[in-house]
Amino acid sequence: MSSASVPLHAEIPPPAIEEVSKDIYAYIQLDGSWFLNNTGCIVGQDTATAIDSTGTEARARAWHAALRTVTPKPVTTLINTHSHGDHTHGNFMFADSAIIASDLCRREVIASGTRAHALFPMIEFGDCPVTPPTVTFEDRLSVYVDDLRVELIFVGPAHTTNDIIAWIPERKLLFSGDVIFNGGTPFALGGSVGGWLEALDVVEGLGAETIVPGHGPVCGPPVIQEVRDYLQFVQETAKRGMSAGTPPLELAQSLDLGRFESLHDKERLVPNLHRAYSELRGERWGRPLDFQQLFTEMLIYNGNQPLRCFA
């Protein structure tokens, strides 16, 4: 079942909702590139719990409408896996729900507001009032949908400083947020390459059989190693570049990406290298980097063309 309430592009399919386990649904926005994230919903006897929202007003309304095709029950809880706008700008559609996230996620949603809008002038964001989480935790929290336990596990810094994953052990099903990208380039500008590799060890240890990634198609555990391989490639490349005194942008421009050439949003390599350089200098994981400057460098890497975004 799909929704056509969002901008249509010949290059990508419309969003679709699919049942990934009994009464558990994933809302998939392909191709998973900039601002095309995934969300989810767990339906109980009397209520429903949503996982993440979307990045524009139109997409938030489309996600809510798609959810209503699988259940009329009230959504009493929304879980945010992290603070980025593609996962939180649509929170306003669930303003009457308890919105659960990590402590750091709430702080970052409030601090960042809608500043990402300026980086994507080609997107019609619409009216997305900032709606931060209202229930927070530090390390772990169990949420129940009837008797089904959803374990929320803090794994940051990884993709961001504030990542959590939503693990449903009874179904061996994981909503990974952006700790897992399937088909897209991982993006560590706001997090940590080293921390992300540690987070992948946590994810792998759960024994998930089905993973709803933050971006890209529903997948299985082999994707964990694919993300790990890319991040290790970034680390190893950064070590060589730093030893040679090569700036991250220049290094990125000189690289043959090899097996990673097929990943979309390749320009993320530039901030990923900056993040790895920061960690090689001994700076703390998740230390803020110059967000605006690194987006400028991504545009340069991209041939001074706008970033590919169909949101």
Cα(152)–Cα(53) distance, rounded to whole angstroms?
Answer: 17
Evaluate whether residue 194 is within a structural domain.
yes
Joined tokens for residue 56: 């524009």
pTM value is 0.96
120-174 residue pLDDT tens: 998 999 999 999 999 999 999 999 999 999 999 999 999 999 999 999 999 999 9
Which residue range forms the structural domain that includes residue 26? 16-301
Evaluate whether residue 168 is within a structural domain.
yes
Indicate the number of domains in the chain.
Answer: 1
pLDDT above 90 (res 209): yes
Evaluate whether residue 309 is within a structural domain.
no
Evaluate whether residue 241 is within a structural domain.
yes
Evaluate whether residue 3 is within a structural domain.
no
68-111 residue pLDDT tens: 999 999 999 999 999 999 999 999 999 999 999 999 999 999 99
Amino acid at 293: Q
Evaluate whether residue 11 is within a structural domain.
no
Give the pLDDT score at 6: 86
Q: Measure CA of the first residue to CA of the last residue in the chain; give whole Å.
A: 19
Evaluate whether residue 285 is within a structural domain.
yes
Evaluate whether residue 8 is within a structural domain.
no
Give the pLDDT score at 10: 85
CATH number of 46's domain? 3.60.15.10
